[in-house]
Structure 1
Amino acid sequence: MTEFLLKTFVKNYHQTENIEVRKYVGFLSSITGIICNISLFVTKYVMGTISNSIAIISDGFNNLSDCLSCFITLVSYKLAAQPADKDHPFGHGRIEYLSSLIIAVIIMLVGFSFLKTSFSKILHPEKVTFNLITVVSLLISFVVKVWMSAFNKKLATKYNSSIMLATSKDSLNDSYITLVTLSSLFISLITTLPIDGIIGCLVSILILKAGYEIIKDTVDTLIGTKADEETVQAITDLVLSYDDVIGIHDLIVHNYGPGKLICSLHAEVDSKRDMLEVHDTIDLIERQLHEKLNIMASIHMDPIEVDNPVVNKYKNMISEILAEIDPELSFHDFRIVTGPTHTNLIFDLVIPYKYQKDTKNLKNAIDNKLKEKDDTLFTVISYDTQF
C-alpha cells in the first residue's frame, strides 16, 4: 500500500534526498493522517457519548490532537522545502525538528487534560453502556492505527525523517491505547470498580509518555548528537578509497535537517608528495562526497612523515602504550622534537568522554609506561574529543 501511494501521488519518489520529493512525501503522510484521524475522532466521540465512556472520548480527542499534529506537519514540510537564503545559508530543514517539538507539546497537553478528567471519573464514576457497535468501531480504529504506524515508519526509514518516525511511534501508541480502551468496556461488565476512569488515567499516562519521548529525541537532535555509525563509515570508506590519503581524523558531521549534512575532516597525506597534486585529489574527494553521499565537505590536508624510521619507532611505541591502557584511545598529528638530553613526542590524543575530567591521570599513566621504555622521552599532548 505504501509503495502504491508513493507511485500514485509522488513524482520521482525514489529520490530520497530531493527536497521537493521530501515535501510531497510529507504532504502525503500528513493528508493521510488528517483523513484517518478525523474519521476516528468522529467515530470515537459518537461511540463514547453513546456508551458514556470517558476512556473512549479521551481516545477520540487523542486522535483529534493527532489530526492537528498532521496539519502542523503539513505546514512544516512546506516551510522546510524553502531554499537557502541570505539569513539561512544552510536551508530550513531544521523546521522539521521544531515541528516535532510542537507536536509533542500538543500530545502532552492532551494527556494532562484527560488525566484530570479521568481522575474526576474515578472520584465520581458513571455507568458505562456496553454495545457491539462500539466494540466493532474500536477494533477498526486499532487496525487503522497499526496501518498508519507501519505506513509512516516505512516513509521515515526511506526518507530519514524524524517527524515521520515520531508520527509512526504516536500511531503505534494510539493502537495500544485503543486496545486498553476496548478492554475497559469488557471489564466494566464484571466489576463495579470505576474502571472507565482508571483506564482513562492509564491512557492519559501513555499519551504523556509518548509526548515526552518525542520531546527528548527532538531536543537531543537540536542540541546536537553524534553522527550515526553508518554515515561516519560511508565518509571514511570514500575518503580512504583514494591512494593519496593515508588516514583521517577530526571528522565532524553537522546536521542541518534531513538531507542536509556538512562535514569537516583532516586527511593525512605523505609529506613527500607534490602538494598541488594532492590538493587536486582532495578537491575531487569533496566533490565525490557531495555527489555520492549528498554531504558538503571541507577537508584539511595534514602532511605526515611516512618513511622516517625514528618517527615510526616512537609512533609505534605510543600505539602500544595506548592499546595497553585503553583500546578506545587513538592519536594523530604525531611528530618529534629532539634535543641533546631528551626528545619530545608531540601528538593529539583522542579520548572517550569518560576521560574528559581525568586527563592528568591519563597523561601520568602514559608517561609512566613511556619511562619504562626510555626515560629520555617526554610527551606533549593535546586532547581531542570523539565527535
Structure 2
Amino acid sequence: MTEFLVRHFIKDYKDVEKISVRTAYGVLASIVGIFCNVFLFIVKFIVGLVLHSVSVTADAFNNLSDAGSSIISFVGVKMAEKPADRDHPFGHGRIEYIAALIVSFLVLEVGFTFLKDSFSKIWTPETLNFQAVSVVILILSVAVKLWLGMFNRKLGQKIDSKVMMAVFTDSMGDVITTGATILSIVFFGVTGINIDGFVGVGVALVVMWAGVGIAKDTLEPLIGEAIDPEVYDQIKKFVESYDGIAGTHDLIVHNYGPGRSMASIHAEVPNDVDIGQSHEIIDRIEREASKQLGIFLVIHMDPVEMKDERVLRIREKVEKILKEMDPSCSIHDFRVVHGEAQSNLIFDMVIPIEYDEKTREELPVRLAERIKEADPRYECVITVDYDYVAKPEEGPEK
C-alpha cells in the first residue's frame, strides 16, 4: 500500500534530495494521517459513548488531536518549501521543526486533559457496557494505527525526516494506549471489575510521554545538535578522496531544515604545493559537494608539513605523549618554529566537548609540561578545539 501511494501521488519519488519531492512526501503523509485519524476518532467516539468509557473517549480525542497535528504538519511542510529570500538566506526549512513542536504541545494538552478526567473517573466510576463488537472495532483501529506508524516510518527513513519519525513514535504510542483500553474492557467483561479510570491514567501518561518525545526530537535540531557520525564520515571521506588533500578536521554542520545543511571543514594541503593549485582543488570540492552531497560546504585550507623529517618526528613524539595522557584527544595544524635556544611547537588540541571546564583547562597545561620534560627546548603554543561529532568518547585519565 505504501509503495502504491508513493508511486501514484509523488512525481520523481526516487529523487528524495529535491526539496519539492521531500515536500510531496510530507504532504502525502499529512493527508493520509488526517484521513486515518478522523476515521478513527469517529469510530472510537461512538464506541466510547456506547460503552460510557473515558479511556475509549480519551483515545478518540487523542486521534482527533493527531488529525489536527497532521493539518499543522501539512501547513508546516508547505511553508518550509518556500525558497530563500533576503530576510531568510538559508530558506524556511526550520518551519517544519516549529510545526512539529506545536504538534507536541497539542499532544501534551490532550494527555493532561484526560489525565484529569481519568482521576475523576477513579473517584466516581461509571458502569461499563461490554460489547464484543466494540472490542473488534478497537482492534481494527489498532491495525490502522500500526499501519499508519509504519507508513510514516518508511517515508521518514526515505527522506531522513525527524518529523515523520516522531509521528511514527506517536502512532506506536497510540497502539499501546488503544491496546490498554481493549484490555480494560475485556477485563470488565470477564471479571465485572471496572479498571477504566486506572487504564485512562495509563493512556494519558503514554500520550504525554509521546508529546515529550516529539518535543525533544524537534528541539534538538532547532537548538543545534552534534554531527551524526555517518554524516561526519561521509563528508570527511568525500573531501579526503581528492588528490592534494592530506587530511581534514574541524568539521561543523549547521542544519537549516530537512535536506538543507551548511558545513565548514578545514582541509590540510601540503605546504610545498603552489597555493593556486590547492585553491583550485578546494573550489572543485565545494562545487561537487553541493551536487553530490546536497550540502553547501565551505572549506578552510590549512598548509601542513609533509616532508621535513625533523618536524614529522617532533609531531609523532607529541602525539605519543598525548595518547598516553588521554587517547580521546588529538592534535592538528602542527607547526614548528625553530630558534637558537628553543623551538616553538604551535598546534591545535582537540578535547571532547563533554569534559568539564577544569579538565579542559588542565589537559593543555599537562601536555605542555610533559613535552617540556621530554625536551626542555620545546615551548608549546596550544589552541584548544572541540569535537562536535555525536559519538561516545573515553574519559580522561584523572
* TM bin (shorter chain): over 0.9
**What does residue 173 of structure 1 align with?**
173
Quick one: distance in 1 between partners of 2:292 and 2:77? Answer: 24
SS at match of 1:385: strand
1:338 corresponds to: 338
Q: Which whole-Å CA distance do the structure 1 matches of 2:118 and 2:11 have between them?
A: 46
Identity within the alignment, %: 44
- Indicate conservation of the 8 Å contact 2:146/2:172, yes or no: yes
Q: Distance in 1 between matches of 2:253 and 2:386?
A: 13
Matches within 5 A, 1:159-198: 159-191=159-191, 193-198=193-198
Structure 2 distance, partners of 1:379, 1:104, is 51
Cα distance in 1 for partners of 2:83, 2:366 equals 52
Q: Map 1:65-76; keep pairs closer than 5 Å.
A: 65-76=65-76
The number of residues matched between the two structures is 387
2:360 alignment counterpart: 359
1:373 paired with 2:374, answer yes
CA shift for structure 1 position 314? 1.1
1:201 aligns with 2:201: yes
Displacement of 1:369 in angstroms is 2.5
Residue 393 of structure 2 is matched in structure 1 by none
Asked whether the 8 Å contact 2:152–2:165 carries over to 1, the reply is yes
Q: CA offset at residue 190 of structure 1? A: 4.5
Secondary structure of 1:254's partner? strand
Match of residue 277 from structure 2: 277
CA gap 1:192/1:96 in 2 versus in 1, 3 angstroms: same
Distance in structure 1 (CA, Å) of the matches to 2:322 and 2:75:
52
CA positional deviation for 1:361: 2.1
Alignment of 1:71-90 (within 5 A): 71-90=71-90
For the aligned residue pairs, the C-alpha RMSD in angstroms reads: 1.2
Q: Specify whether residues 360 and 27 from structure 1 end up closer, same or farther in structure 2 by C-alpha distance, changes over 3 A only.
A: closer
Match for 2:7: what amino acid?
K
| Structure 1 partner of 2:136 | 136
For 2:186 and 2:139, how far apart are their aligned partners in 1? 13
Note if contact 1:355-1:362 (Cα within 8 Å) is conserved in structure 2: no
Aligned equivalent of 1:386: 387
Q: What is the distance in 2 between the residues matched to 1:114 and 1:123?
A: 14
Q: Distance in 1 between matches of 2:289 and 2:208?
A: 41
Identify unmatched segments of 5+ residues in structure 1: none
Q: Which moved more, 1:126-135 or 1:193-202?
A: 193-202
SS of residue paired to 1:189: helix
Shift of 1:337: 2.2
Distance 1:347 1:94 in 2: 37
Is the 1:342–1:377 contact (alpha carbons within 8 Å) kept by the matching residues of 2? yes
Provide closer, same or farther for how the CA distance between residues 82 and 141 of structure 1 changes in structure 2, counting only shifts above 3 A. Answer: same
Structure 1 stretch 365-374 or stretch 214-223: which is displaced more? Answer: 365-374
Give runs of aligned pairs for residues 244-263 of structure 1, distance below 5 A.
Answer: 244-263=244-263
Q: Partner of 2:376: helix, strand, or coil?
A: coil
How big is the shift at 1:372?
3.5
1:318-337 alignment runs, 5 A limit = 318-337=318-337
CA displacement 1:5-51 (0-9 Å, x = unmatched): 10011000111121111111111111111111111000000011001
Per the alignment, residue 36 of structure 1 pairs with 36
- In the alignment, the residues of structure 2 paired with residue 334 and residue 191 of structure 1 have an alpha-carbon distance, to the nearest angstrom, of 76
Aligned to 1:269, the other structure's residue is in SS state strand
1:48 pairs with 2:48: yes
Aligned counterparts of 1:360 and 1:239: Cα–Cα separation in 2: 32
Mapped to 1, the partners of 2:372 and 2:346 lie a distance apart of 15
SS at match of 1:286: helix
CA contact (8 A) 2:349 2:364 kept: no
User: How far has the Cα of 1:343 moved from its partner?
Assistant: 1.8
State the shift of 1:192 in Å: 5.8
CA deviations on 1:264-289 (whole Å, 9 max, x unpaired) are 11111111111111111111100111
Tell me the distance in 2 between the aligned counterparts of 1:356 and 1:321. 21
Instruction: Write the distance in 2 (CA, Å) between the matches of 1:143 and 1:382.
Output: 57
Kept after mapping to 2: 8 A contact 1:96/1:162: no
The question of whether the paired residues in 2 share the 8 Å contact of 1:268 and 1:301 is answered with yes
**1:321-364 CA deviation, whole Å, 9 max, x = no partner?**
11111222111111122233222211110110244512332123
Letter in 2 for 1:19: I
Aligned partner of 2:57 in structure 1 is: 57
2:246 is paired with a residue whose SS is strand
C-alpha displacement of 1:212: 0.6
Any conservation in 1 of the 2:187–2:193 contact (CA below 8 Å)? no
Farther off after superposition, 305-314 or 74-83: 305-314
- Measure, in 1, the Cα distance between the counterparts of 2:24 and 2:251: 33
2:249/2:265 contact within 8 Å kept: yes
Letter in 1 for 2:67: C
> Matched residues in 1 for 2:381 and 2:108: separation?
52
Partners of 2:161 and 2:102 in 1: how far apart? 16
Please give the alpha-carbon distance, in whole angstroms, between the structure 2 residues aligned to 1:124 and 1:171.
30
Partner letter of residue 380 of structure 1?
A: V
Tell me if structure 2 keeps the 8 A contact 1:188–1:195: yes
Q: How do 1:214-293 residues align onto structure 2 when only pairs under 5 Å count?
A: 214-293=214-293
Structure 2 residue ranges without an equivalent (≥5): 389-398
Distance 1:383 1:367 in 2: 13
Give the drift of 1:194: 4.2
CA distance in 2, matches of 1:216, 1:23: 23
Q: Alpha-carbon deviations, 1:166-210, whole Å to 9, x = none?
A: 111111110111100000001123456541110001100000000
The alignment status of 1:300 with 2:300, answered yes or no, reads yes
Q: Is the Cα–Cα contact under 8 Å of residues 348 and 382 in structure 1 kept in the other structure?
A: yes
Q: CA deviation at 1:365?
A: 2.6
Q: What is aligned with 2:118?
A: 118
Q: Which moved more, 1:61-70 or 1:319-328?
A: 319-328
SS at match of 1:11: coil
CA contact (8 A) 1:37 1:63 kept: yes
